[in-house]
Amino acid sequence: MKARTPLRTLTTTFFISSALVAVPIVIRFFVEEAITETNSSQELVSSRQIIPVGAITALTGWTFPVTYDTNVEEALTMAINSTMAIPRAVPKKRYRPKVSGYELLCDRFDIYAPSRKILVLPNDGCASIALISLDIDVSSDLSRMYIAPRSNDRVKVVIPALAGKYHKNKPEAVRELLIAPRVQYDGEECLTLNAEVTIADADRARITSSPTIVLTRCQLKSGKSITISSSSIKFLSPSNEMFHSIATSTFGTQNELVLAMQDSVNNSTLTTLPANEFEEVMVMEVKVTSNGVVALVCQWTRQSIAEVPHIACIYSISSAIITKPQPIDPNIAQRLVNKGLNPPWTNLTAAVTLSYLPLASKEKVSFDIPKILDDSVTVARYFASIGNNFVVDWEGSMVYIFFDTVEIVKGYEIPLGLLISIGGVMVACCIYLVATEFTLDARCRESLYMTISRELLGGRDGARPRLHRFHPETLEFEGQRRLVVPTSQPQSPEDVSVYPSQTPAGSQDPLTAL
């Protein structure tokens, strides 16, 4: 007796098959692309540069923007290891500048301002930082300048002086302030400067340009090095009445330098102008830190044509790291020796600029000011740790960078729980497949052709696919009608019969006709 086909088993099989179709779709939500690093090695990269010979060298190839939520160390790394600046870079390789570490020589600084000759904040330092203002004419009589100590680490400096050359050349324009930190140690010095002059709209109160960090590394003749990072945030107030709202909205209400500068605005120290239209008043609020100096510098000046006074300010964070001689890679040293140079070589300066991008907003431009204030120290430490793995050859117009490299292999990350679940589903499907062999009739497990073959052979055992005679006009298998096609003509009982008579006389067997 033939086994009956269990309806429940067929129904279950249908739903399980449908569910398995959805499994790959569900897996896509749990599987993520992953990157694996292999074959770590080291590689020296030499890059031809246009290097202007001067006191400061700006490497434009490594000037890089810092987005609102980007880590500044990562941004500097991306600037240095950008494949656009690496000749013949391998796309599947990841380049990271080699870090060697450093030993500090000095971490206490005496502060000079607004020139390197005027000591404003002694700190028992082993080195000095001078905040050089380019907005004061060098011929100014600074005898009227006075210094007001506020604490052991803070000082106020008031400087009545003649306007600098930028104001004299274009007196009707409002320009940003420029502060250049200069570090002096053991008779040698290192200077960094963001010399970009921006002409501002005097009627608009705002940050006048994107905040920047200028990163400079000076290799001294003694083999020692000085790394300076100088962060600058420049803003403008059209009047003294607006200064408080502008400064506090930018730096917060608890910034001690901003609050001190507000006092100078309120008591007219900053807002009293001499009769001479080319004479201005500059106030500096200075604080020494463990890594350098922080200064808020504001200048109350006027446009000689419009006679509209305004307050131009710069918030400057200068961090300096002076290190012992660091080892230089033999491959770099050999290249320099072959060119007639004998490391440690003469005083070289390399500068990299990082510019901060604002947060996209429909209402106003917004910067992460607290983050920028903290980044100056972070980026100085990182660049100092790179050391002589980043070398500038002025005469040869070359930059040598020693990289740690790894090859990138892309793949997919599959959670362990998902992997176990997939294995469980596969085992369950195998068990269910075996179970259906015992619970389903053979006709439910075989193809249509196999079922027809079995019927034609009378259900004999050992049936297997084989060649059958088929007449295409009468749709007959082995002389028997198995398929019925509805027509518009009335059908005879023989046409409807599942097992009609044998092939009509005169018809030709398609197989014997071949």
Lowest mean pLDDT among 10-14, 183-187, 247-251, 311-315: 10-14
Q: Convert the pLDDT of each residue in 285-316 to its tens digit.
A: 999 998 899 999 998 876 554 456 678 889 99
Question: CA gyration radius for the chain?
Answer: 41
3-state secondary structure 63-109: CEEECCCCCHHHHHHHHHCCHHHCCCCCCCEEEEECCCCCCEEECCE
Q: Does 79 have pLDDT greater than 90?
A: no
Decide if 158 contacts 144 (C-beta within 8 A).
no
Given this model, what pLDDT does residue 105 score? 92
* Least confidently predicted of 84-93, 210-219, 407-416, 473-482: 473-482
Give the pLDDT confidence score for residue 337 in this predicted structure. Answer: 65
Cα-based torsion angle of the residue sequence 54, 347, 215, 390 in order, rounded to the nearest 10 degrees: 110
Q: How far is CA 215 from CA 72, 109, 190, 191, 270, in A?
A: 12, 19, 12, 10, 31
Cis check: omega of the bond before 490, within 30 degrees of 0: no
Average pLDDT, the chain: 75
Quote the tokens at residue 445.
């497990």
> Which two tokens mark 292?
């350098």
- pLDDT > 90 fraction of the chain, expressed in percent and rounded: 12
Helix/strand number for the chain, H first, E second: 11, 25
pLDDT given for residue 342 in this prediction: 42
Q: What are 263-283's pLDDT values in tens digits?
A: 988 888 877 776 676 778 889
For residue 67, pLDDT over 50 is answered with yes
Question: Is residue 228 predicted with pLDDT exceeding 80?
Answer: yes
Strand 64-66 versus strand 348-356 pairing type: parallel
pLDDT bracket for residue 216 (50, 70, 90): confident
What pLDDT was estimated at residue 295?
94
Selected residue with higher pLDDT from 308 and 24: 24
Q: What is the pLDDT of residues 112-145, one digit of tens each?
A: 998 888 899 998 999 999 998 877 765 677 778 8
- Is 70 exceeded by the pLDDT of residue 102? yes
Amino acid of residue 455: E
Tokens of 238: 């059209």
Residue 208 has pLDDT above 60, yes or no: yes
Region 446-454 average pLDDT = 67
pLDDT band at 457 (very low <50, low <70, confident <90, very high): low
What is the tens place of the pLDDT at every residue in 360-413? 655 666 777 888 888 888 888 988 998 888 887 766 777 888 888 888 888 877
DSSP assignment of 445-465, as one string?
Answer: HS-HHHHHHHHHTTT-TT---
Instruction: Tell me the HSE value of 414 on the side-chain side, using a 13 A CA sphere.
Output: 13
The amino acid occupying position 210 is S
Which helix (H) or strand (E) covers residue 227, if one does?
strand 225-237
pTM equals 0.69
DSSP assignment of 363-417 equals S--B--HHHHHHHHHHHHHHHHHHGGGEEEETTTTEEEEEEEEEEEEEEEE--HH
Mean pLDDT lowest among 32-36, 120-124, 153-157: 32-36
Cα–Cα distance, 35 to 52 (Å, whole number): 40
What is the per-residue pLDDT across 110-119, written as a single tens digit (0 to 9) for each? 999 988 888 9
